[in-house]
Amino acid sequence: MQNDKIKCGLTESKRGEYADSSHSGAYVWYEKNWRHDDYEHVHQRGQLSFVAEGYQYFYIENRIYLVPQNHVIWIPSNIRHRSHSEAENIDLMVVLYKDVPELEFFKSIHVFAVPSVLREMLWYASKWSQNLEENREQFYFLQAILNSLPNFCSENHNLQIPVPSNEKLIPICEEINNNFKYAIDIENLARKAFMSARSLQRIFKAETGITVQKYHQLIRILKSIEMIEQKKYTLTEIAYKVGYKSLSAFTSSYQSIMKTGPSDVKKTMLAKSSFANSIDEASDF
């Protein structure tokens, strides 16, 4: 990679490290068909990322965060992270803040669905995309979004994929990730980890905060989100592809993880259409 690369208004002085030369307190960066460098990077600004279409995986420390369509993630400043997605289309908006309030909320990572009020605010803010010359309205409006985030946040911790530090558990996670559509056999998994089934359950829960069965369910649902985004299959087909024997069983499992039904994804697609229209209208300002 060449030095002094500009990405989202920041200057990459060396691989993965961005200098902040902008005097703007906050600015917006929106791109259709987003393609981010697939390696860790760090910058001095707090980052609010809104996934308008597709989905993104954010790799941060010992967690992988799935940010589906119509969700946002807040990443504090100076936190190393990288993102990845295999979605065909990724429309992403990033709002970068130089200074944030001294509240505990802004010191942690948060992923949550975008409520209608915040979505409307982001649509309006899109008119300042890639404008690094801050004006008075832009400053106060983006600060209003920032200060409102703790009130909008209804966090879904199930969108976090824990990564165990115990090396014996890594093959277990890989086995589930690669064969998620099949029922799990705890005894067989325990043999792969060279431990008893009881020890596997205990250590896995201690390392990740969830049971092996819950991890399996989580991976199935996250894979289904990828398939829904592809728009190639019916919900019934997706249910079978991720290992459920019926649409009702899949819907129930999806609801328990996402706090909404899989059929509600259609609503987010309509929201995306409205968002795209707002971007086009914003270009006329």
Sole residue written with tokens 């809104």: 50
Residues 224 and 235 in one domain: yes
> For position 196, which CATH number holds?
1.10.10.60
State yes or no: pLDDT of 156 exceeds 70: yes
Residues 100 and 185 in one domain: no
| Domain housing 63 | 5-156
Q: How far apart are CA 208 and CA 217, in angstroms?
A: 14
Lowest mean pLDDT, pick from 26-30, 36-40, 103-107, 246-250: 36-40
Residues 145 and 169 in one domain: no
Residues 122 and 21 in one domain: yes
Residues 38 and 165 in one domain: no
Kindly report the pTM of this predicted structure: 0.81
Number of folded domains that form the chain: 2
Q: How far apart are CA 82 and CA 73, in angstroms?
A: 13
In a domain, 285, yes or no: no
Q: What contacts 20, CB < 8 A, 6 or more positions away?
A: 10, 11, 43, 44, 45, 98
In a domain, 101, yes or no: yes
In a domain, 173, yes or no: yes
Residues 150 and 164 in one domain: no
Residues 19 and 152 in one domain: yes
More confident residue, 144 or 263: 144
> For position 69, which CATH number holds?
2.60.120.280
Domain stop point among 113, 129, 156: 156
What pLDDT digit, counting tens, does each position of 5-27 carry?
Answer: 767 778 777 777 777 777 789 99
Q: What's the mean pLDDT when you consider all of the chain?
A: 86
Closest C-alpha among 131, 119, 121, 216 to residue 175: 216
